[in-house]
Chain A
Amino acid sequence: MEVSILIFLTGGLFLGWSLGANDAANVFGTAVGTHMVKFWVAAAVCSIFVILGAVISGAGAAHTLGKLGAVNTVSGAGMAAFSAALTVYWMTRLGVPVSTSQAIVGAIIGWNFFTGSPTDIGSLVKILATWVACPLLAAFFAVLLFKIVSKLVNSTKLHIFRLDAYTRGGLILAGAFGAYSLGANNIANVMGVFVPSNPFTAFGGGELFRFTAIQQLFLLGALAIGVGVFTYSKKVMMTVGSGLFPLSPLAAWVVVVAHSIVLLLFSSQNLEHLLASNGLPTIPLVPVSSSQAVVGAVIGIGLLKGGHGIRWRVLGSIASGWVTTPIIAGTICFVALFFLQNVFNQRVFQDHAYVLSPPVMEKLAAEGVATNSLSALKDRRFESWAVLQEALRALDTPQPASEKTTRAFAMIEPLTVTRSKLNRLLDSSFSPDQRAALRAMMGEHFLHRWRFEAALVERSAVWRSLPATPANKLANRQLEDQREEAYLLFQD
């Protein structure tokens, strides 16, 4: 791996460290702050389960973040992560509670603005909606759990010391669950920007053990989170607890469990598949804010108790932080990318060339784009999206609505299936039938990724997506990952 890649990855590691330093307090803050659990126990449990959550279940939420903005160079990704991390760190030093999720979203949008890349509005709306849904859901679960736990505690007549022992055990277990959820959901914030430009390659073979490139990336990020937990989270943990509303240890346990449930709901691919296969509405897999979930849960319990003890001023300052964080992160990212590109001559964006060849025109027509007006641009090569966009808008009948489709299919992404690349198939996640289809394409060259994928589907049905029903969402996403892996393997 090049040194420059390592340097840019440190942006993500800094963000991971910030996440560990801040968000570990959401999981173990009250337990450590009230001396129910020792700090070193909390730090060890938190680190281990964050790593497990990130590596085992971290992929789901990363998809949505990748769709928001495909930061396709390591330097760009590193700067986006660094900007988010700097925002989080700076605002934490100022004493303003901050959300890492919101910081990275702001940074990605800042990258989109700088590079002229379109922001996927669908993904943005999905993410913004979860910023509202997350605290509300957390409040709902907290209230529900609180009522159940209250009833249980009152009916079992436990001795105060026995209850204390169970609460301690419960706080450690809930903390482990919370740390797992944090890793699963928030690793996308830390390393999601690096997925399109992932420098790692998969290793391991067969069905028993396989360590994919994404898992390696997430492990690195999770280790950074673990370091953040051990080195800086104690101070934050000791100040968390009664900041918003005074909580008993048992109520704190309810908050941690509610927070963990919400984070897992927004990151579990298996849950999504289970809901989909039973015809139930699915929850979008999006990195959500751990801080928001905790605040929502605490407010839920506070309102259940009458709302008198809630410190509304503190809540106000937290909410204003949530609004300003993405704006600040986006601005820092924009300015930093300017310097990175123009002062340090780093490529922060990998643009592609575009061509409207006959196969592309046929494909666009099949996708419902009116290609008559595009005939003036036929067979022309455009060196960047900006040039092609200008040409499209200069047509007699411009079609702004179809620009996204035109961009996707006209993009030149050359691939060649060579023997040397085929030899690396053993390290891949492909099934034997999928590998056979790839081997049958040896020597073939493709100008566009979609043509490569169409050829794969033509060769073998195992590469074809299943009908787009909710029940097939998980399988289709896995197939999408495999097509992405194949593209990365054979790209020129």
Chain B
Amino acid sequence: MAVQLFKRTKQLELKVDEILDLVSQSAMTFDQAIDSYLSEGIGTRFNQRLDQMVALESRGDKLGLAVELQMYNETLIPDARGDVLTLLEALDGIIDSFKGVLFYFSTESPEFPDELRQNYGELAKVTCASVEALVLAARAFFRDVQTINDHLHKVHFYEKDADVLVTKIRREIFAMDLPLANKIHLRFFAERIVWISDMAEAVADKLTIYAIKRTI
């Protein structure tokens, strides 16, 4: 019975690790998809990344549900179950947001002026960096809670960077000679991207509290 218990525990650990891997992969996929769009528009590379993102999101949903069911059925970590499930849901929300933004790109095909492409690319990279730092913090929460703050401060750092960048982009957009509808459209995409870094920061704030609660 003890062997089965530890075998199931190991499988659960692997599932959680895979969920965190998926979040990290979704960030990298998003970054490359934005790069492809900014350089080629909607082409083969962008569509490949979009398909990849859909698969990641679907796999994330299945794993999240499996982990949740197992935790409830076996009444695992009763004192931290709520926190862990909230964390996994929030991370799944981030993958959903990445997918959502790419679908906006795919369906609305925004036209970026050349002078803004670099900024948008940078905004995507900084947002992805905040999510990567969040993934590292989440891994630390599960395995090495003492080092969690080493990663959480990076999430805040990148989120502030993203805020600065999005403000700069807004100013540049509205300083341009473009129809208002185009300006609003371009602003929308900047805000959708920066919103993901805001989500990462919100999760990081929750992780700070969860880490304190994990002290025995």
Contact = CB atoms under 8 A, between A and B. Distances in A.
Contacts of A36: 75, 78
A119 B84 CA distance: 59
With most chain A CB atoms within 10 A of its CB, the pick from B2, B6, B9, B214 is B9
A153 B216 contact: yes
A132 B152 CA distance: 47
Contact of A35 (B5, B78, B84): B78
A164 B143 contact: no
B116 interface: no
With most chain A CB atoms within 10 A of its CB, the pick from B10, B76, B78, B216 is B216
B9 A162 contact: yes
B5 A34 contact: no
Contacts, number: 50
B216 A164 contact: no
Interface string A238-254: 00000000001111000
A159 interface: yes
Nearest to A38: B75
Interface in B2-16: 2, 5-6, 9-10, 12-13, 16
Contact of A169 (B2, B76, B78, B146): B2
Interface residues of B, number: 22
A251 B216 contact: yes
Contacts of A129: none
A162 B13 contact: yes
The SS class assigned to the B binding surface is helix
A3 to B, nearest CB: 45
Nearest to B8: A165
Interface residues of A, number: 22
A346 interface: no
Interface in B63-93: 75-80, 84
B79 A161 contact: no
A308 interface: no
A34 B2 contact: no
Interface of A: 34-36, 146, 149-150, 153-154, 157-162, 164-165, 168-169, 248-251
Given A160-B80, A160-B141, 12 more contacts: A35-B78, A36-B78, A150-B216, A158-B143, A159-B142, A160-B77, A160-B84, A160-B214, A161-B16, A165-B9, A248-B216, A251-B216
Interface of B: 2, 5-6, 9-10, 12-13, 16, 75-80, 84, 141-144, 146, 214, 216
